[in-house]
Amino acid sequence: MTDTQTRAGFAALIGEPNAGKSTLLNWMVGAKVSIVTHKVQTTRARIRGVAMDDQNQIVFVDTPGLFRPRRRLDRAMVAAAWGGAADADVVVLLIEAHRGLTDGVQAILDALAENMSHVRLALAINKIDRVKAEDLLALTQKMNSAYDFEKTFLISAERGHGCEDLKHWLGEQMPEGPWLYPDDQIADLPMRMIAAEITREKLTLRLHQELPYQLTVETEKWEERKDGSARIDQIVYVSRDGHKGIVLGKGGETAKAVSKAAREELQEFLGRKVHLFLQVKVRPNWLEESERYSEMGLDFKDGNA
């Protein structure tokens, strides 16, 4: 039984801008995510990607707005700012080897000590290709006397050095339990998110203020076809029957135009032919459901600091 025991949980990568978070995430999750991080930044998507390490699944969550505010925050704001990190099973702080313990890093450590002492924290010193070995040793010591990290990794996210160890360790820290995402969805999850986001964007452009509140787009199916094209089935969920008409438009005109615009952008994005099928459905319990399931169908609670 032990061989087949799976683990799954959440991890968050934090650090100053430019620390290499996206690069590391790409290494862990696969190249497709880089597109996601650019594309989906402004959305409500909270999942940045999913990595597998043997039987262990690591779901990387977003940390929107983290550390942007300089002033002291009240508890509610802190909880909001920390976003996914507050709920993560493990948080990895990324710093740049050649910059070391900067004021920005110190501010993060202070914020962690003050608000997030319950969170398990590992340190990843990134860009080790840019410094000498002896400097790394000194920095490791300095960082570990500044904060009680569970573990320190020396990595180069760009070259992949040390990343396997970090991923493996993260996998082992995840709680035992079934995977949060079925494995056949992991590879194209970022693409599903992007595709949904593109359609949502086109709906917003088309409907402006008319855009129904509580509208979500989900990519239900993604099928790779033998001829190299992709068939993408999406559902636009609205909360009331009346809203369905708004999205469809007269004689389905709005939905058609949105679908065309979204398909064109997707084709350009993927560099191949796309067949996009949109359906509009009413989901009256959207609000209640959304508390349990995010857009991606995943249980996710808001953090409390």
Ligand X SMILES: Nc1nc2c(ncn2[C@@H]2O[C@H](COP(=O)(O)OP(=O)(O)OP(=O)(O)O)[C@@H](O)[C@H]2O)c(=O)[nH]1
Shortest reach from residue 103's CB to ligand X, in Å? 17
Shortest reach from residue 155's CB to ligand X, in Å? 7
Which pairing describes strands 121-126 and 90-96: parallel, antiparallel, or unpaired?
parallel
For the chain, list the strands marked E by DSSP.
7-15, 47-53, 56-61, 90-96, 121-126, 151-154, 216-224, 230-238, 274-282
* Nearer to ligand X among residue 27 and residue 237 (C-beta): 27
Shortest reach from residue 129's CB to ligand X, in Å? 5
| Helix 21-29, helix 32-39: angle, nearest 10 | 140
* Nearer to ligand X among residue 19 and residue 215 (C-beta): 19
Mark the binding-site residues for GTP, compressed into ranges: 15-22, 62-66, 126-129
Amino acid letter for position 16: E
- Residue 11 in contact with residue 91, Cβ under 8 Å? yes
* Nearer to ligand X among residue 128 and residue 217 (C-beta): 128
Mark the binding-site residues, compressed into ranges: 15-22, 62-66, 126-129
Shortest reach from residue 23's CB to ligand X, in Å? 3
* Nearer to ligand X among residue 157 and residue 196 (C-beta): 157
Applying CB under 6 A, the residues found at the interface with ligand X are 15, 17-23, 126-127, 129-130, 156-159
* Nearer to ligand X among residue 62 and residue 265 (C-beta): 62
Report the Cα 165 to chain-centroid distance in Å: 21
Shortest reach from residue 126's CB to ligand X, in Å? 5
Q: In terms of DSSP H, where are the helices of 132-277?
A: 133-146, 163-173, 183-186, 189-207, 241-248, 253-270
CA distance 178 to 83: 24
Determine whether 249 is exposed, middle or buried from the number of CB atoms within 10 Å of its CB (0-12, 13-18, 19+): middle
